[in-house]
Amino acid sequence: MEHEGNVEGCIPEKSERSRRIQALGVAFTACLLLSIAFILKPAEGGIGTHRQLGLPQCGWILAADIPCPTCGMTTAWSHTVRGELKTAFMTQPMGMLLALVAFLVAIGGFITACTGYSFQHLLYRFPPSKIFILVIALALLAWGFKILLHRGVL
């Protein structure tokens, strides 16, 4: 017996209604993260905005005077949602990129929730393993950039 669904016929497709509800949940989650970033006041030194959420100071900086891979991300998000892209990039490039992706995800989620349009063809345009490698490479480059900024080299 053959199943209706994807190309192989093994996994049934989600109903349009459930896809729309999921998309709405994703859009609201992205908007929540962006809203929190907007409520927070960006820290002057490029790190420390996360302290407004009750989180501790970065242990890496305290222990070794080296920023951790996520140092400055919350501050970069806070600058990005204010349209201060140059400042956001100089604070933490990966944080700025993630905030922009969250913005696009929110828009895409609302489009899917309202119209039923599927962005699946965009999600699988490139193999996930290559996207993963690209994201890791960008994160490492951003971390290196943040270390150089912290050390006063840039």
- Answer whether residue 1 shows pLDDT above 80: no
Instruction: Evaluate whether 52 touches 41 at the Cβ level (below 8 Å).
Output: yes
Report the pLDDT value the prediction gives residue 13, as an integer from 0 to 100.
63
Identify which of 38, 75, 35 has the alpha carbon closest to the alpha carbon of residue 55: 75
Task: Name the pTM for this structure.
Answer: 0.85
pLDDT per residue as tens digits for the range 28-37: 999 999 999 9
Report the pLDDT value the prediction gives residue 3, as an integer from 0 to 100.
46
pLDDT per residue as tens digits for the range 124-154: 888 989 999 999 999 999 999 999 998 989 8
- Answer whether residue 5 shows pLDDT above 80: no
pLDDT per residue as tens digits for the range 52-110: 999 999 999 989 999 999 999 999 999 999 999 999 999 999 999 999 999 999 999 99
What does the DSSP assignment read for the chain? -PPPSSTTSSSPPPPHHHHHHHHHHHHHHHHHHHHHHHHSPPPTTSS-GGGGGTPPPPHHHHHHS---TTTTHHHHHHHHTTT-HHHHHHH-HHHHHHHHHHHHHHHHHHHHHHH----HHHHTSS-HHHHHHHHHHHHHHHHHHHHHHHHT--
Euclidean distance between CA atoms 66 and 63, whole angstroms = 8
